[in-house]
Chains A and B, each alone.
Chain A
Amino acid sequence: MIYGYAGKVLRVDLTSGRVSTEPLDESMAREWLGGRGFVAKKLWDEVTAGTEPFSPENKLIMAAGPLTGTLLPSSGKLHSGCLSPASGGYGDSNMGGHFAAELKYAGYDMIIIEGRAGLPSILVIDDDKVEIRGAGDIWGKGCIASEVELKRKLGDDFQIAVVGPAAERLVRFACISHDFGRQSGRAGVGAVMGYKNLKAIAVRGSKAIPLKDPALALKKGEELFEAVFAKPGYKEWTPYGTAGVTDWVNEVGAFPTRNFKSGYFNGYKGIDGQALRDRIRITDKGCFCCPIPCGKYSTGVVGGKRFFVEGPEYETIAMIGGDLMLPTIEEVAYANSVCDDLGLDSISAGSVAAFAIECYENGIISKEDIGRHVQFGDVDSAVYLFEQMAYRRGIGDLLAEGVKRAADRLGRGAERFAIHVKGLEVTGYEPRNAAAMLLSYMTADIGAHHNRSWAITYDIAKGRLSTEGKAEWVIQLQHTRPLFDTLGICRLPWVEIGFETKWYEEIFPVITGLDYSWEQLLNISERIWNLTRCISIRHIPGFGRKDDMPPVRFVEEPIPDGPTAGGHLTMEDAQKLLDDYYRLRGWDSNGHPTREKLQQLGLDFVKI
């Protein structure tokens, strides 16, 4: 027996209404660990070539990991994945809060959601009792109101994942929301849940997670918490959370501003971590078992309206604050609250709104198309555009497709303003003076996302425009960071306060009974990385090198102002970075894993 797992997989076919459980296969646990590994393996095994993201045959898979719900810092991550409506290929997104731990306490490591319900539905999991019920009048409601209503009906101790109006209308960057402010934001996982007519999943569990050695797990867990308490970042980083990095990103000229036209926002002090803490924060809000709560629950008044919102965290500050040039933290937080209730990924929503405004400024979209004048720096413009896209009203119907598809349809040079890779909008780091960060966005498996490799500090340490050694570093990060998503825990203690990986290596066998070294765990992470690549190759016609290309703005337009004014990497640099990257990965020049590489990683079953 392998410990650390709840031991069961829950399979829900929404078309037939059939619910079943399967024992978790032991080899699955050994070879794919959990979380992202389970998502990737199941998508490979069960979703065949030719499947469209919006089809009953696409599956939404939610998985915890072997460490989820156990006593170690920040052990509350859920990984959700499917074929992405943004890219058409592999898509996943992780979410904090308390859902993942509760899922395991209910007895499940993974939920596989298949088919499509005939009517709007919810899934209620109460230990062994699992039911599909009608969504009733919560269909159509915002994420916040829906969660309030479900907690009222089912009980406050249910953990709830819900989608909003954006997902109901298949907005390609709709998210899954949980716990009044946590999201699986990226890759359109919420849109797939909405397509399936699944408004919410509620879970409550009363069971124990079996541990290899519970007494030692307590002792070791305590040791890990002591180690966190001893880190200076525990007290220095936590008061600001991810928002604390805002000043630094501006000081190094990498803050997305005005649809990534610039890397420096003059008014950044108005929207930084200090402003958040001083002006709007009510309480810290932590995910399960987290000693460094990054959630900063906030309130304020904008335009006479009182808002409550978790955050804004850094990505929202960057993509709604900087990229839309909103001058105050109150306005960023208010716009954030609108996105959260509509169920829009605040990263993509910010980027799409910025794209729309720049298209408008350049005469590609008219005032009549939009229905009003819109401009950067104006919270009403931002909120108006968010609502248009979420409800697919007017131009919103086009914007709901994301910047890539919108630009393709608009033509007339709109592509230059569409800041994405693989159809997924770029996140909060302006990379045209940061080679490793640029390569990170180019090669992230779900499309442009910082979570797989956050390499900008390396660029600054090693020379920003230099391409030397960058591919190697990015690959290392692409194995390390997603490993946290595989184990079902949060990477932030490691990223933000320097909590050493040796601690995870030490506690892993105490929980699971498996004696894996960190190196071995990284090898599994590499196996998963190659499989997610193959999933995109299988599902996206002609997928390869061309899909790893950066937005043209990043390799053709110099930054106009701020610390990085004048500079940028070139397309030649981008090609060189890719050459290095493919060679070091054991992929061919079109970015396909070679047969030898697949064999070496135990991926013999993969035929592409």
Chain B
Amino acid sequence: MELQVRAELCSGCRVCQLVCALRNMNECNPKKSTLKPIGHFPEPGRYEVKVCNQCGACAEVCPVGAIHNEDGVYIIHEDECIGCMQCVDACPYGVMFTHPDRQAPFKCVACGECVRYCPTGALVDATGQVKGGSAR
């Protein structure tokens, strides 16, 4: 899966955040999701969506090598993480997330859940493997 954003289609509904957190954290809590729609209102009146493109900048700075490239997806091994948060600072897209409940940061694991349930087609899988909600 290769997550891409068509921001002009985003309506800021945050379904993506809710399914992300439920799928990956088993919690109804958007603050534990790994992507973020942001509205720019009142002007110019548009949304952007911050998502991970698996660039690997997080893995490069990790001092203990806790972030592993697994088939093109960077996965944090929490048992190896020391919680230094260097990856959070290093992420060029602001999508290494933290939460008071958790010692380790968390990031997108490319599960495709957000693409499947994005109601507007703003989130797409460039490889075409994951079909979006609006494409059904």
Residues of chain A whose beta carbon lies under 8 Å from any beta carbon of chain B: 69-71, 98, 101, 105, 144, 148, 156, 179-181, 205-211, 214-215, 217-218, 221-222, 225-226, 228-230, 234-235, 282-293, 295, 297-299, 308
Contact = CB atoms under 8 A, between A and B. Distances in A.
7 nearest A-B pairs in the assembled complex, by CB-CB distance? A291-B119, A286-B11, A286-B13, A208-B29, A293-B11, A180-B41, A218-B22
B119 A229 contact: yes
A230 B135 CA distance: 10
A489 to B, nearest CB: 13
Contact of A156 (B11, B38, B133): B38
B32 interface: yes
Contacts of A234: 119
Interface stretch (B42-50, B54-62, B66-74): B42-50
Contacts of A206: 29, 31, 99-100
A183 B102 CA distance: 36
Contact of B12 (A148, A226, A228, A285): A285
B45 A308 contact: yes
B8 interface: yes
B100 A229 contact: no
**Contact size range, B:** 35 or more
Nearest to B13: A286
Contacts of A229: 119, 133-134, 136
Contacts of A299: 45
A207 B39 CA distance: 22
Contact of A214 (B26, B38, B41, B99): B26
Nearest to B10: A283
**In the complex, which of the residues A156, A282, A283, A295 has the most CB atoms of chain B within 10 Å of its own CB atom?**
A283
Contact of A105 (B22, B26, B30, B120): B30
A209 B134 contact: no
B11 to A, nearest CB: 4
A148 B22 contact: no
A299 B99 CA distance: 37
24 contacts: A70-B18, A208-B27, A214-B22, A214-B26, A214-B27, A218-B22, A221-B22, A222-B116, A222-B117, A225-B119, A230-B136, A282-B44, A283-B46, A284-B9, A286-B13, A286-B119, A286-B120, A291-B119, A292-B119, A293-B11, A293-B13, A295-B11, A298-B45, A308-B45
Nearest to B43: A308
B77 interface: no
B13 A69 contact: no
B84 interface: no
**In the complex, which of the residues B10, B23, B31, B47 has the most CB atoms of chain A within 10 Å of its own CB atom?**
B31
Contact of A215 (B26, B39, B46, B117): B26
**In the complex, which of the residues A180, A217, A218, A235 has the most CB atoms of chain B within 10 Å of its own CB atom?**
A218
A70 B133 contact: no
A222 B133 CA distance: 10
B19 interface: yes
Given A156-B38, A225-B117, A229-B133, A287 B28 contact: no
A297 B41 contact: yes
B12 to A, nearest CB: 6
A481 B27 CA distance: 29
A71 B13 contact: no
A228 B15 CA distance: 13
Nearest to B122: A284
Given A156-B38, A290-B119, 12 more contacts: A180-B41, A207-B31, A217-B22, A222-B116, A229-B133, A234-B119, A285-B11, A290-B13, A291-B13, A291-B133, A293-B13, A308-B41
Contacts of A230: 136
A283 B54 CA distance: 28
A283 B45 contact: yes
Contacts of A225: 15, 117, 119, 133
A206 B116 CA distance: 25
